[in-house]
Structure 1
Amino acid sequence: MRKHERFNAILERIAADGSIDVDQLVSDFGVSPATARRDLDELADQQLVSRTRGGAVAGSVSYDLPLRYKNARQSDQKRRIADRAARLIEPQTVVGFNGGTTTTEVARSLSSRADLAEGETGALASLTVVTNALNIASDLAVRPPLKVVVIGGVIRPQSFELVGHFARPVLEAMTIDLLFIGVDAMSAQIGAATRHDDEGEINREMANRSQRVVVVADATKLGKRAFCTICPPENIDMLITDDSADPAAVRDFEAAGIEVVLA
């Protein structure tokens, strides 16, 4: 197991159990006691855990893994979802992205579409991207033909999203043609949801300003609920998920009027 993957697994274990000790790391991950201690020290240096004698306990952000530690999860599925989602983007449109690993992959797939990358006079130059995610804006900023609009706000370090009331004036002044929403949970009864009310508020406003809303979520998010609703099922046009999705869940979404695409 690579170091990055091990860190991800350690943080998820601490988030679930509240603590972990060196002996558990040695047993579960097959590392030496010295490596286990170094791992915990490094995570503590990043303020993701708090070190204890012989182990570590949950730090203030351990229940919400930072984006850099989420990237490794369901990566193949997210890339397939992203490639399928990017095919929906047409020239001369305004495309929106909220933050998250799956929407980040969609943005990368957009920037690599050969049929759009035709230079200043081509189709890519006719696209406008609106996002509240700094990492997505940074990725797309190196594509000069694209016009990238970043809304204002306060940065959430875990997701790189801009949130808060400073974002509202920008969003209220625009219309988005196609919005890609990443979620923490997606339910046929409740709709798209996130664990954080500040993200949910801005994501909801982005959805309200959009002509078409597409949720991009791997199958592990389906049938789940989270604290804050982004938009109800009737406001979601399409769900793009991976082909391991539970057929019963797919039927529930379709019965709710949501087109489901399996990637």
Structure 2
Amino acid sequence: MVRHERLSTLLDMLGQREKIDVEDVAAELDVSAATIRRDLDHLAEQQLLTRTRGGAVANDLAYDLPLRYKTARHVPEKQRISTAAAAFAAKGMVVGLNGGTTTAGVARALAMRPDLSGRGGDAPGLTVVTNALNIAHELAVRPNVKIVVTGGVARPQSFELSGPLATRVLSELTIDLLFLGVDAFDPDAGAFAHHEGEASINRLMVERAERVVAVADGSKLGRRAFARICETTQVHALVTDTDADPDDLRAFEAAGVAVQAV
């Protein structure tokens, strides 16, 4: 296991257990205790956990991980979800993308679809509205994509823009299809984000969209987070992976959400 994956695994463990012991984790991951100590020290320097004698405990930030750590989690599932979700888009659409690793994958999948390419002086194949700096950066070089960035204040953990400037831009736009990345999605309670500012701007994106497709791997389903984005009934479709709990998927379908597990 390379260091990047190990750091992500340690944060996952903390999220599940709230505290971990160096010796126990070293045995589980089959590495030396000295390696785990260095990893925990590194994560503590970034305020993602609190070091204790012999281990570490979770703090609030451990549940809202920077994008560079989230990227290493559930990679095959996210790739399948991104490819399947991108198929919802049609040429000429105005597509919305909020921040997140899965929506970034959707952006890449959209850019790779040859049928969405514009021709010569024609209109672009797609117009993409996003509040995510990483997505805007990746798509800006694609000649078939017109990029509209919301503006706002950037949040380092997610590269998402939020605040009054982002709200002002979005309030003037209409989105045909929104790909909504979430931190948690519960069939009864709705879609959630860890940060209230991101939840607020994502909520507005939902309101401005004619159709909303949530993209989330199975680990996020049946869960709730700090700030609600929208009600379940405001989401038209969910693209997830085959490891998702079947009971959760049935509950989403009962709520009127079209479910695709890939």
TM-score of the superposed pair, with normalisation by structure 2: 0.90
Change (3 A) 1:249 1:49: closer
Change (3 A) 1:187 1:55: closer
Change (3 A) 1:151 1:31: same
Q: Does 1:28 align with 2:28?
A: yes
Q: Does 1:102 align with 2:102?
A: yes
Is the Cα–Cα contact under 8 Å of residues 91 and 115 in structure 2 kept in the other structure? no
Instruction: For structure 1, list consecutive stretches of 5 or more residues without a partner in the other structure.
Output: none
Post-superposition shift, 1:104? 1.0
Q: Does 1:199 align with 2:201?
A: no
Q: Structure 1 CA distance, aligned partners of 2:26 and 2:187? A: 42
Instruction: For structure 2, list consecutive stretches of 5 or more residues without a partner in the other structure.
Output: none
Q: How does 1:145-156 map to 2 (within 5 A)?
A: 145-156=144-155
Q: Structure 2 CA distance, aligned partners of 1:178 and 1:20? A: 42
Post-superposition shift, 1:238? 0.9
Post-superposition shift, 1:149? 1.0
Tell me which moved more, 92-101 or 19-28.
19-28
Q: Structure 1 CA distance, aligned partners of 2:56 and 2:187? A: 38
The equivalent residue for 1:76 is 76
Q: Structure 1 CA distance, aligned partners of 2:169 and 2:176? A: 16
Is the Cα–Cα contact under 8 Å of residues 116 and 122 in structure 1 kept in the other structure? no
Q: How does 1:169-188 map to 2 (within 5 A)?
A: 169-188=168-187
Post-superposition shift, 1:41? 3.4
Change (3 A) 1:90 1:48: same
How many residue pairs are counted as aligned between the two chains? 262
TM-score of the superposed pair, with normalisation by structure 1: 0.90
Post-superposition shift, 1:205? 0.4
Change (3 A) 1:145 1:256: same
* Identical aligned residues as a percent: 54
The equivalent residue for 1:246 is 245
Q: How does 1:46-57 map to 2 (within 5 A)?
A: 46-51=46-51, 54-57=54-57
Post-superposition shift, 1:108? 0.8
Post-superposition shift, 1:120? 4.4
Q: Structure 2 CA distance, aligned partners of 1:261 and 1:15? A: 27
The equivalent residue for 1:112 is 112
Q: Structure 1 CA distance, aligned partners of 2:248 and 2:42? A: 40
